[in-house]
Amino acid sequence: MIGLRTIAAVTLLLGKLGLVYAQKAVYAHFMVGIVQDYSVDDWKADMADAKAIGIDGFALNCAPPRVDSYTLTQLGFAYQAAAESNFTVFISFDFSYWQNDDTDLIITTLQNYSSLPGQAKYNGGAIASTFIGEYFDWTPVKAVLDITALPNMEDPIQATELHTDFDGAFSWLAWPTDGGNSIIPGPMTTVWDDKFFEWLDGKPYMMPVSPWFSTHFDSKNWVFICEQLITDRWEEILAEQPQLVEIISWNDFGESHYISGPEPNHTDDGSSEWAVGMPHDAWRRVMQPYIAAYKAGASAPTVDAEGLVYWYRPTPKDVKCTNDPLPAPNGIDLLTDAIFVTTMLTELANLTVTSGSQAPVTVSVGPGVVTNNFTMGVGTQTFALSRNGVKILGGQGGLEIVDTCETYNFNAYVGGF
């Protein structure tokens, strides 16, 4: 008798042999603009962390050499590190800096790198992508190179309107928004993704997933309402099963959506004010089972190792900071003063959270990957998982929540047990 379990096992085997889900891959957006001092070993350290959770490659967001003189050197290091790490990379031309008439430069750049062994491919073609840049015409590039062009489209309708010889699209609409940078209340939906699927009409869609968004530069000063986005969005990815996924981001400290380690050798664009001392590493543990599930075509993640990951902002949203030349970020009124806990369990357990001055709260949590939230209290944060009265793991959060501040910080502190 062929049961469901047999079918699942055969599907998994075919998947492992590369026969069923050969094309599926998860990439992470990597800001080359902050790693001008990187060595090949620095690249390899990042790649090892990414590979450890099942990420297949980095989308190398970069400016042209006329803007960042080190771009080509660092692309060379990245391709070398990828080849030596069994990892992949592709170039994501950042059209805040590249222009539509940079065709010759884009061709010579792709000629230089896209046949190297570390190049990520889709359907046999070397992947090339962009940030914005949807009006760039790929026709002359594809006349001389075997490229799979997956530009960022700012609006899915462009998939029906553009005549740029694109092969698919990547979306940057990874946070709740009515389009562009408009801020709306959560939760995240797939309203934009559904339009991409419809209008791409079978062409590959690189669906974005991000854990957070908060930025506090004078030129951009806002949050998106995305407090438990990490698991909500991965559930959407499992439901939609896009051809490709791009995590936004690996190391964009400026927008607070990094999942990398602190990258000791990156340069500081001013984001150290909100990113230093605010680790996000534990979010990689949340992503790992989702990445595996996505690649297996599964509708839910499988937990192999039990754990707990928590995150929260350093202050309640109404606290006024005393020494900040900038106002508080736009959108914060829509945030909730809550702390978030993702449990990864194989069996039912009790989760007890004590958030500062709030009374302890205990909830029963089922197996799988589950996110709960708790009212934020000023003070020490403690987390405990127990089963049948015995504590299985937990401890104190790595940062106290306070009700004073000098400068606004709506980044998340992320830790785990």
Ligand X SMILES: *[C@@H]1O[C@H](CO)[C@@H](O)[C@H](O)[C@H]1NC(C)=O
| Distant-in-sequence, close-in-space partners of 299: CB < 8 Å, separation ≥ 6 | 238, 239, 293
DSSP 232-244: HHHHHHHHH--SE
3-state secondary structure of 170: strand
Alpha helices in 325-374 (DSSP H): none
CA atoms 92, 94, 100, 102: torsion sign? negative
Q: Is 336 in the site for ligand X (CB under 6 A)?
A: yes
Nearer to ligand X, 197 or 311 (CB): 311
Q: Of 290-309, which residues contact ligand X (CB under 6 A)?
A: none
| Distant-in-sequence, close-in-space partners of 203: CB < 8 Å, separation ≥ 6 | 159, 166, 167, 168, 169
Q: Is 265 in the site for ligand X (CB under 6 A)?
A: yes
Residue 364 beta carbon to ligand X: minimum distance, rounded to whole angstroms: 6
Peptide bond into 249 cis (omega under 30): yes
Nearer to ligand X, 327 or 360 (CB): 360
Q: Which of 130, 158, 228, 249 binds ligand X (CB under 6 A)?
A: 228
Q: Residue 178: what residue type?
A: D
Q: Is 76 in the site for ligand X (CB under 6 A)?
A: yes
Closest residue to ligand X: CB criterion: 76
Q: Is 358 in the site for ligand X (CB under 6 A)?
A: no
Q: Is 395 in the site for ligand X (CB under 6 A)?
A: no
For residues 232 and 209, give the distance between their C-alpha atoms in angstroms, rounded to a whole number.
10
Q: Is 72 in the site for ligand X (CB under 6 A)?
A: yes
Q: Is 116 in the site for ligand X (CB under 6 A)?
A: no
Q: Of 139-178, which residues contact ligand X (CB under 6 A)?
A: none
Q: Is 387 in the site for ligand X (CB under 6 A)?
A: yes
For residues 134 and 193, give the distance between their C-alpha atoms in angstroms, rounded to a whole number.
17
Q: Which stretch binds ligand X (CB under 6 A): 138-146, 213-221, 342-350, 375-383?
A: 342-350
Nearer to ligand X, 16 or 320 (CB): 16
Residues that bind ligand X (CB under 6 A): 39, 42, 72-73, 75-76, 86, 108-109, 112, 227-228, 264-265, 336, 338, 348-350, 364, 373, 386-388
